[in-house]
Chains A and B, each alone.
Chain A
Amino acid sequence: MAFRIVTNNPQVQEHFGERHQIHWIEGNYLAVLEFVRDEVHRGYPVLTHPLSGSIKPNETPYKSILLDTEKDQEISSSVIMIEDSIITAKKFIEIRDRTVGLRQDLLQDFQEIDYQLIKSGIESAL
């Protein structure tokens, strides 16, 4: 399955940037979700769940999502999934955004987890 990776995680860009198509987001977790939402509405289905992992959207600054490179007529499930994910993410971020001012070692751990989660998605896609 051909895919592109939408990410704001430098570790994902570093590991997969040469082998796979990457769309880099200069922004936060929600910015990644909102870019993906716009792409879904243009007709590109999501290939991984936007809320991958059980780390909460207000804890990690990093998010990577696989998008199809080809448009699909049937995108309703992707639309519902990304819109619901944005509602869920906002709910957590409104309670308390804990991603601001994180220590460097925590940033690296969050990058590693996001990298491992998207890697498991990429392994399924290949």
Chain B
Amino acid sequence: MKLTLGKIFIEDVQFGKDTKVEGKTLFINKDELLDAVGESEYIDNIDIDITHPGDEVRITPVKDVIEPRVKVDGPGGIFPGMINKVQTVGSGKTHALKNVAVVTAGKIVGFQEGIIDMTGPGAEYSPFSKTHNIVVVANPREDVKQYDHEAAVRQIGFKAANFLGELAKNLTPDEEITYETLPLLQGVEKYPDLPKVGYVYMLQTQGLLHDTYVYGVDAKKIIPTFMYPTEMMDGAIVSGNCVSACDKNPTYVHQNNGIIEDLYEKHGKEINFVGVIVTNENVYLADKERSSDWTAKLTEYFGLDGVIVSQEGFGNPDTDLIMNCKKIEEKNIKTVIVTDEYAGRDGASQSLADADPKADAVVSNGNANEVIVLPPMKKIIGMTDYVDSIAGGFDGSLREDGSIEVEIQAITGATNETGFVKLTAKEY
């Protein structure tokens, strides 16, 4: 499967009379975007705002972050099974509007986290302080259940990103990269001397506000399966996940997975990147056993020499991570696990809720318990009245002057477990 990703670098986003890309500026007619997003029986009103890197703006609570993309050539559409028909994506040509993101925001439950500061110390922790953000705040009708509200906001975000992505269809990309993964036997034949490496992509799938979808299927109902890495780039995996702001994977991260990009970078040179095994993180222990058995079985069946395993979330997914690692190692396949830590505010406590001696190669993306003070911002998009109750916050988190003292777990993307962050931890 071969995909050419054309990147169009946007330098500014503004509201305008017409929705278009002119030069390096994305103009958005607010009414046209609202029309494209459409109405929902669960949503009372939708507002759209634009914010830029360096603005004194705080967006919170953030639900999802999505990059606008469009299929230019090849089968299917972006977000198959969600807003486009189910068809295998990941081949042909796709255009992406870079430096731009659709951010969905608004309170779904009272303790929901997710802060993006566009400037100041908090901005250093979120990769989404560097994008021009089109923020969609969707307020529910009264008495709407949380799961209906979540589903409605999820769809609104994809529709907004899809509408803006369409603008890129006829543009000439500033940069093109072609990614190719051959069918297994051909790929092995092509690089007989290179170690065969796979990626086990763990998806958070435990229930309301903890879900992920693969081609529209709730991933808690899948058994681990193989995917070409380019399928992710066309939105085959999307987030329905609102908790663990620091270490969940927003849809943007599924589209721009750094582990996949880095493995492609080394593909054909140092390694033979064979493909991706997607798996879940369920509540029920028999599901965890079955899924980790299957990931290990697939790594063996594909004849892998090495595997990178990335986690999403905290706590019980630590058990899935360790089960995957242990069972794959028992097949005599080397593993590296990618995670983050909840090691207490001094960093001295045990980092994960589970452990095994076989997990001897670990990449950490930071300690989510680290405390930070976020200074007041001139403008809030969304609301901060819930901040005392968000993850990593506490009574008195929100001070009178508008500053917030929180653990970095409250910041969207701060310790993302695919490495889509600036933080790391080193052992000396």
**A residues engaging B (CB < 8 A)?**
1, 46-57, 59, 66, 81, 84-85, 87-88, 91-92, 95-96, 98, 102-103, 105-106, 109-110, 112-113, 116-121, 124-125
Contact = CB atoms under 8 A, between A and B. Distances in A.
A106 B385 CA distance: 12
B110 A117 contact: no
Contacts of A121: 282-284
B391 interface: yes
Interface residues of B, number: 42
B204 A49 contact: no
B206 A120 contact: yes
Nearest to A60: B111
A37 B391 CA distance: 26
A53 B391 contact: no
Interface stretch (B14-22, B120-128, B262-270, B346-354): B346-354
Nearest to A124: B284
Given A52-B283, A54-B243, A54-B313, A106 B389 contact: yes
SS class, residues of chain B in contact with chain A: loop
B146 A49 contact: no
Contacts of B391: 55-56, 59
Closest 4 CB pairs of A and B: A116-B208, A124-B284, A49-B316, A51-B315
**Counting chain A CB atoms within 10 Å of each CB, which of B111, B209, B210 scores highest?**
B111
Nearest to B392: A56
B207 interface: yes
A42 B316 CA distance: 23
B222 to A, nearest CB: 13
A116 B206 CA distance: 8
7 contacts: A52-B315, A54-B206, A55-B391, A91-B344, A91-B350, A113-B208, A116-B147
B316 A52 contact: yes
**Counting chain A CB atoms within 10 Å of each CB, which of B244, B283, B313, B369 scores highest?**
B283
A109 B146 contact: yes
B347 to A, nearest CB: 12
Given A91-B344, A124-B282, A124-B286, A84 B208 contact: no
Contacts of A55: 111, 243, 391
Contacts of B285: 46-49, 81
A34 to B, nearest CB: 17
B314 interface: yes
Contacts of B350: 87-88, 91
**Counting chain A CB atoms within 10 Å of each CB, which of B207, B286, B345, B349 scores highest?**
B207
Contacts of A110: 111
A118 B317 contact: no
A95 B286 contact: no
B367 to A, nearest CB: 12
Nearest to B313: A54
A84 B389 CA distance: 26
A120 B147 CA distance: 13
B95 interface: no
Contacts of B394: 96, 98
Given A48-B283, A59-B391, A95 B316 contact: no
Given A56-B314, A109-B146, A84 B354 contact: yes
Given A49-B283, A52-B283, A121-B284, A113 B389 contact: no
